[in-house]
Amino acid sequence: MNGDDRPGDDECAVMPPEGNFPERVLFIRVPEGKATKNRLHLDIHPVDRTLLDEVERVTALGATVVADRRGPRGIGWFVMLDPAGNEFCVESSAAEIAAVRAAIAAESGDQP
């Protein structure tokens, strides 16, 4: 998030570390209420934290959990709603997925 952004601001820019994509995602509050289904659905893949850490972070910012879609090894995603009711998902990080794949390979005797 941009260092100037605060909860309740009418605009919020989300910017990843230098050299990552997308360069920025900008959210702007509009006066009209939500009238139809989302035209955009975001899937968030945390880079520097776990799935559960990211869910905790966005929940603290006002999001709510709608559904837990994790499998038995904890990999998957959470369906969430932002404070305005827009749906988005928070998915397992690449590191978490790689760790589970390595564990499965080790259990089966395969090399990762």
Task: Express each pLDDT in 58-67 by its tens digit.
Answer: 999 999 999 9
Give the confidence band of 42 by pLDDT, cuts at 50, 70, 90. confident
pLDDT, residue 2, reads 45
Neighbour count for residue 21 (Cβ, 10 Å): 5
Buried-state track 34-68, b at ≥16 Cβ within 10 A, e below 16 = eeeeeeeeeebebeeeebeebbeebeeeebeeeee
More confident residue, 21 or 102: 102
The pTM score is 0.68
Neighbour count for residue 18 (Cβ, 10 Å): 6
Tell me how far apart the 2 most distant CA atoms of the chain are, in Å. Answer: 58
- Is pLDDT above 80 for 25? no
pLDDT, residue 47, reads 86
Rg of the chain (C-alpha set): 17
User: Cβ(66)–Cβ(80) under 8 Å?
Assistant: yes
Identify the bridge partners of residue 68 per DSSP, sorted by sequence position: 78
